[in-house]
Amino acid sequence: MNRHLIAAADLSRDEALLILDTAEELARVSDRPIKKLPTLRGRTVVNLFFEDSTRTRISFEAAAKRLSADVINFSAKGSSVAKGESLKDTALTLEAMGADAVVIRHMAAGAPHRLAGWIQGHVVNAGDGMHEHPTQALLDAFTIRRRLRGTPSGGLDGLRVTLVGDVLHSRVARSNIALLNTLGAEVTVVAPPTLLPLAVDGWPCEVSYDLDAVLPKTDVIMMLRVQQERMNAAYFPSVREYSRRYGLDVARMAALPEHAIVMHPGPMNRGVEIAAEVADSSRSTIVEQVANGVSVRMAVLYLLLGGTDE
Partner 1 sequence: MHARSGGQTPGAASPGDADHSVSPPQAGPQYETQPETQYKRVFEPDEIRRALTRIAHEILERTNGAGDILLLGIPTRGAPLAQRLATRAGEFEGRAIPWGSLDVTMYRDDLRLRPARALGKTELPPEGIDGRTVVIVDDVLYSGRTVRAALDALTDLGRPRAVQLAVLVDRGHRELPIRADYVGKNLPTSQREQVRVLLSEIDGEDAVLLGQGPESPESPGRTGALA
Binding site for partner 1 (CB under 8 A): 1, 3, 5, 12, 14-15, 18-19, 21-22, 25-26, 28, 32-34, 36-39, 300, 302-309
Instruction: In angstroms, give the least distance from the CB of 238 to partner 1.
Output: 45
Active site residue 83: yes
CB 293 within 8 A of CB 55: yes
Looking at the Cβ atoms of 263 and 305, the one nearer to partner 1 is: 305
Active-site annotation holder among 22, 56, 90, 162 = 56
Looking at the Cβ atoms of 35 and 88, the one nearer to partner 1 is: 35
CB 152 within 8 A of CB 295: no
Instruction: In angstroms, give the least distance from the CB of 43 to partner 1.
Output: 10
Active-site annotation holder among 3, 39, 55, 270 = 55
Active-site annotation holder among 4, 43, 66, 105 = 105
The secondary structure element, H or E, covering residue 46 is strand 44-49
Looking at the Cβ atoms of 16 and 196, the one nearer to partner 1 is: 16
Cβ count near 78 (within 10 Å): 8
CA–CA gap between residue 170 and residue 187 (Å, rounded): 15
Instruction: In angstroms, give the least distance from the CB of 304 to partner 1.
Output: 5
Instruction: In angstroms, give the least distance from the CB of 119 to partner 1.
Output: 17
CA–CA gap between residue 32 and residue 142 (Å, rounded): 20
Active site residue 105: yes
Active site residue 143: no
CB 199 within 8 A of CB 160: no
Looking at the Cβ atoms of 231 and 303, the one nearer to partner 1 is: 303
The secondary structure element, H or E, covering residue 26 is helix 13-26
Looking at the Cβ atoms of 27 and 168, the one nearer to partner 1 is: 27
Active site residue 264: no
Instruction: In angstroms, give the least distance from the CB of 164 to partner 1.
Output: 31
CB 110 within 8 A of CB 128: yes
Active-site annotation holder among 133, 146, 171, 264 = 133
Q: Which strands form 160-164's sheet, in the order they lie side by side? A: 206-208, 186-190, 160-164, 220-223, 261-263
Backbone dihedral region of 108: left (phi > 0), alpha (psi from -120 to 50 degrees) or beta? beta
CA–CA gap between residue 126 and residue 50 (Å, rounded): 11
Q: Give the catalytic positions in this structure.
A: 55-56, 83, 105, 133
